[in-house]
A and B are shown apart, each in its own frame.
Chain A
Amino acid sequence: MIRMVALRLALMLPILLGVSIIAFVLMRALPGDFAQASAGTSTISAEALDTIRRSLGLDLPVWQQYLRWLLAALGGDLGTSFTLRKPVLGELLPRLAVTGELTLIAGLMAMLLGVATGLASARLRGAVDWAVRAWNSLLLAVPNFVIATLIVLLFGLYFPSVGIFNYVPFAADPLANVASLLLPALSLALTVSVTISENTRAAVLEVASQDYVMVAKAKGLRARSILANYLVRNALTPVITVTGLQLAALLGGSILIETIFTIPGMGQFLFDSIASRDYPSIQGIVLLAATIVLLMNVIVDIAYARVDARVRYD
């Protein structure tokens, strides 16, 4: 088990290296650069642009820029943000905390809703099954930014007393902070809950027809005990996978949701950084998001072994 984790962590390094190269090259392939973006619509002389580029090292060939960045990154220095003029790492962590909190709340909501509707759908069948599946199809078809927009409209028009855009920092007021994240988290959670719900439903249906469930009934066990120990525990494995991967994707920051609700997290940071061609910041965000996805994969594998004794890593 420990060897597996160590091996998986070691394997992350080449993957992250690849991700960093792709992100680096792709960003520089975009039209325009920081010098032009910062000039905005005002016209600046070519010399002035060159001066900015030279001062940031943007005049060097791309591979030289990458090597400089890589050497610094290996030493723990992700560079300095062009726009904020501060070290990228110091800017990333507080934003990651905000996005992390948002993801945590959204993840809890999605799991509660997804597992509950999936279970109800698989066990009750009939009209409940039909309603849940119709609801899931609807949510799957509607992107989360539409849901977010509808929430903004609903509360903005009919319940203006509920502040929608008043993000409160955790340090200022923890309770108000959590409250201010509930609606954005809901708009993320609804979409994620569909995947969890459909996977729970399929897994429970599959498990319910297994011989050991028949044996459990023949033992005279109570329905509650069969549900918890036989159905849910066996159906959990695929559900853990999809939940873990969905949460990992959310941790990279949802650009649209954070922008709509003006939450100072990773998504908004990425959006601003791309708009201003702030290469070091983009590079840092991409690297951090990739690390989180990879770590989440390892955590999902560890969770398997906890749920199912057949899974051994040695």
Chain B
Amino acid sequence: MTAPLLEVRNLTAHFARDAAARRVVDGISFHIDPGEAVGFVGESGSGKSVTARAIMRLAPEGSPVRWGGTVRFRGEELLTLDAAAMGDIRGRHIAMVFQDPMSSLNPVMSVGAQIDDILMRHTGLSRRAARRRTIELLDLVGIREPAQRADDHPHQFSGGMRQRVLIAIAVSCQPALLIADEPTTALDVTVQAQILRLLMRLRRELGMALMLITHDFGVIAGMVERVYVMNGGAIVETGPTDALFAAPQHEYTRALLAAVPRIEPGG
């Protein structure tokens, strides 16, 4: 038994501006082992995205979030870490892919420059060396003619291609943990499978742990080893993916599973 990569105990989150101080995450505990793929499933508002952001200590602009409990990454407490040290972890050791690729890239910078800047921030590469690595990364995520495309701006890419760029940004510094928050929700169905396959391949090649957040059990199947089911800011059920699919214990899990349209393999 190895020590967990990420260990979360009794995590709470509530919006500080909220007068009622409603808890959106209500004392949850979980862990992710090194190299492990873990799924978080739940409907919108179940608290899974806020949980992911708590690990990164990211709050939406203008609505500060207060966190409680402990988030230990490689034994180090993140919730009380000073801002500079937290900045050294973000993007370097824990990286994140977001839901909407159409709005997640800076429209006035070339996509290459948006990979260069994270490389230069964390790896100390020169601008020129960073660009060479950027082109390798664009190639790695399946963008053709990466050397030319690096100078293009986001509006010149489709949604699927932009998500590939965002994945290239996330894996650029070979993080130990990649958090993917609904990475396929905003994409066409045909593109969704490609992006999931890309995430699986990169996870294997780079040996990353993956925290995959989704509302769709169909996305989880075949992707992750363990699942946490969230509802109303709490974890209602957890277990190995196969067991959960075969014999869901909680009523909410059964309802979520029933909501997945079935496509028989080979059909």
Contacts and interface: CB of A to CB of B under 8 A. Distances in A.
A212 B169 contact: no
Contacts of A229: 106, 109, 117
Interface in A214-237: 214-222, 225, 229-230, 233-234
Contact of A220 (B62, B107, B122): B122
A308 interface: yes
B61 A220 contact: no
Contacts of A219: 90-91, 95, 117-118, 121, 169
Contacts of B96: 215, 218
Nearest to A310: B155
Interface stretch (B30-38, B97-105, B125-133, B191-199): B97-105
A216 B56 CA distance: 12
B121 A233 contact: no
B77 interface: no
B89 A220 contact: yes
B62 A218 contact: no
B87 interface: yes
Interface string A12-32: 000000000000000000000
Contacts of A205: 62
B88 interface: yes
B153 interface: yes
A225 B121 contact: yes
B103 A220 contact: no
Contact of B91 (A208, A209, A220, A230): A220
A233 B60 contact: no
Contacts of A220: 87-92, 118, 121-122
B150 interface: no
B58 interface: yes
Interface string A274-314: 00000000000000000000000000000000011110000
A284 B100 CA distance: 55
B121 A309 contact: no
Given A219-B117, A220-B118, A212 B104 contact: yes
Interface string A61-72: 000000000000
A212 B91 CA distance: 14
Query: Interface SS of chain A: helix, strand, loop or mixed?
Result: helix
Residue with the highest number of chain B CB atoms closer than 10 Å, among A216, A220, A309: A220
Contacts of A214: 58, 60-61, 98, 104
Contacts of B155: 309-310
A230 B121 contact: no
Interface size range on A against B: 20 to 34
Contact of A211 (B91, B98, B117): B98
A210 interface: yes
Contacts of B103: 210-212
Contact of B106 (A208, A209, A230, A307): A230
Contact of A215 (B87, B88, B89, B104): B104
Given A218-B91, A220-B91, A308 B122 contact: no
A139 interface: no
A213 interface: yes
A218 B90 contact: yes
B184 to A, nearest CB: 16
B141 interface: no
A215 B108 contact: no
Residue with the highest number of chain A CB atoms closer than 10 Å, among B58, B108, B118: B108
Interface in A175-218: 205, 208-218
B11 interface: no
Contacts of B65: none
A225 B90 CA distance: 15
A215 B172 CA distance: 14
The 10 closest A-B pairs by CB, nearest first: A220-B90, A220-B91, A219-B91, A211-B103, A219-B118, A309-B153, A209-B61, A208-B61, A218-B96, A212-B106
8 contacts: A212-B104, A212-B107, A215-B169, A220-B91, A229-B117, A233-B108, A234-B106, A309-B107
Given A215-B105, A219-B91, A233-B109, 9 more contacts: A209-B62, A212-B105, A215-B166, A219-B95, A220-B89, A221-B117, A221-B118, A308-B108, A310-B153
